[in-house]
């Protein structure tokens, strides 16, 4: 089977974490024997108009590639593919990275639903009621993200080895995304400092992949303060490292951690609610053992790759 992946986010030397989940998903498919080609439509440092220059490139690659399936990652990739008219003749799949109501500036779901054979949604969405939609969040590489000694990780990274309570904040965009609500995150940290003066935010932006497991394992917990998400990969990576998570009720976070003891999902999107959940989390954070409970839900990289390959075979 030959699959052509079109994506508008993909890691590069200067942005090693940007779209890393696409690269890792492609690698997991190749491990199952799926032949994959990837086109990264990169406009970083250039205007949005640069995306238009990829339309003839996409058209030509599909013409020459003899692909069985076209997989577009992010709705913008799907729109570029639609401009080539290939969805009228080829089997096409698109992965939304956020809920369709949140992805892109226009409501183009109807067009995508009309022209694409399957639409992958990664959160609990009203759009899952549509006939061609499927629920399939990204998987996590549980062989790479593993529990490690906290003290040794902190020492290797030059962090405070004793006493400090580190709360992890992650954003793959080095400029920061408004939806992540860093302001709410920092307000929560400031509230917590009144009771825990040793608490600190550990912020990761565009961090090289080889350092991420050590940074995660250096932390006492991960907090998500976002207004919305799809299926945040940082949650999966932390759980695989046995690091507990506190989060606003966004994306599919409740499905991932809502029944795992030691993790907390808050319905009120306020610093006070998050701070209360963090306090509860810290009481037993050192004894947290959520990895196996999380992986039992089927979020392993290989398990998700098998489901995705089956989806390709279905279309």
Listed in sequence order, the DSSP H helices in the chain are 20-30, 54-65, 75-83, 109-115, 150-157, 182-192, 212-218, 233-240, 253-257, 271-283, 291-295, 301-314
Task: List phi, psi (to 5°) of 201.
Answer: -85, 130
Those residues whose C-beta lies under 8 Å from the C-beta of residue 131, and which sit 6 or more positions away, are none
For residue range 142-173, what is the model confidence (pLDDT) as tens digits?
Answer: 999 999 999 999 999 999 988 899 999 998 76
Cβ neighbour number for residue 188 with a 10 Å cutoff: 26
Rounded Cα–Cα distance for residues 136 and 133 (Å): 10
How is 207-224 classified by DSSP, letter by letter?
Answer: --GGGHHHHHHH-SEEEE
First to last CA, the chain: 12
Q: Look at domain 2-139+300-314 and name its CATH class.
A: alpha beta
Rounded Cα–Cα distance for residues 173 and 23 (Å): 16
DSSP reduced 3-state for 267: coil
For residue range 59-90, what is the model confidence (pLDDT) as tens digits?
Answer: 999 999 999 999 999 999 999 999 999 999 99
Q: What pLDDT is attached to residue 51? A: 87
pTM: 0.92
Q: What pLDDT is attached to residue 285? A: 81
- 191 has a pLDDT exceeding 90: yes
Q: To the nearest whole percent, how much of the chain has pLDDT over 90? A: 84
Q: What pLDDT is attached to residue 43? A: 78
The rounded radius of gyration (Å) of the Cα atoms in the chain is 20
Q: Which residue do the tokens 């956020």 mark?
A: 98
Rounded Cα–Cα distance for residues 228 and 70 (Å): 28
For residue range 77-126, what is the model confidence (pLDDT) as tens digits?
Answer: 999 999 999 999 999 999 999 999 888 756 789 999 999 999 999 998 99
Q: What pLDDT is attached to residue 153? A: 97
Structure tokens at 154: 């902190």
Q: Are 135 and 22 in contact (CB under 8 A)?
A: no
Domain 150-295: what homologous superfamily? Glycogen Phosphorylase B; (3.40.50.2000)
Structure tokens at 313: 């075979």
Q: What pLDDT is attached to residue 174? A: 60
Q: Are 223 and 274 in contact (CB under 8 A)?
A: yes
Which pLDDT band holds residue 45 (cuts at 50, 70, 90)?
low
Tally the residues of the chain: 315
Higher pLDDT, 25 or 108: 25
For residue range 264-307, what is the model confidence (pLDDT) as tens digits?
Answer: 999 999 999 999 999 999 998 888 999 999 999 999 999 999 99
Which pLDDT band holds residue 22 (cuts at 50, 70, 90)?
very high
User: What are the structural domain ranges in the chain?
Assistant: 2-139+300-314, 150-295
Q: Rounded mean pLDDT of 167-187?
A: 87
């Amino acid at each position: 089977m030959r699959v052509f992946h079109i994506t508008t986010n993909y890691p590069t030397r200067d942005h090693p974490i940007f779209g890393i989940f696409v690269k890792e998903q492609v690698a997991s498919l190749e491990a199952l024997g799926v032949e994959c080609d990837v086109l990264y439509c990169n406009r970083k440092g250039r205007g949005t108009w640069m995306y238009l220059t990829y339309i003839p490139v996409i058209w030509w690659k599909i013409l020459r590639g003899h692909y069985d399936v076209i997989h577009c990652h992010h709705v913008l990739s799907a729109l570029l593919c639609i401009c080539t008219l290939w969805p009228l003749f080829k089997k096409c799949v698109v992965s939304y990275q956020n809920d369709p109501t949140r992805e892109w500036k226009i409501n183009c779901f109807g067009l995508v639903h009309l022209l694409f054979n399957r639409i992958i949604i990664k959160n609990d969405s009203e759009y899952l009621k549509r006939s061609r939609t499927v629920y399939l969040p990204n998987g996590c590489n549980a062989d790479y993200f593993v529990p490690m000694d906290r003290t040794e990780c902190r020492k290797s990274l030059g962090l405070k080895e004793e006493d400090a309570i580190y709360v992890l904040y992650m954003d793959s965009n080095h400029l920061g995304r408004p939806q992540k609500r860093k302001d709410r995150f920092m307000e929560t940290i400031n509230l917590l400092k009144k009771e825990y003066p040793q608490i600190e935010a550990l912020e990761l932006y565009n961090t090289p992949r080889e350092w991420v497991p050590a940074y995660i394992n250096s932390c006492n917990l991960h907090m998500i303060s976002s207004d919305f998400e799809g299926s945040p990969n940082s949650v999966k990576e932390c759980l695989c490292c046995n690091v507990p998570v506190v989060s606003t009720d966004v994306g599919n976070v409740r499905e991932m951690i809502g029944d795992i003891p030691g993790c907390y999902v808050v319905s009120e999107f306020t610093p006070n609610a998050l701070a209360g959940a963090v306090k509860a989390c810290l009481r037993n954070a050192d004894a947290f053992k959520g990895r196996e409970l999380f992986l039992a839900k089927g979020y392993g990289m290989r398990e998700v790759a098998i489901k995705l390959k089956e989806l390709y075979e279905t279309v």
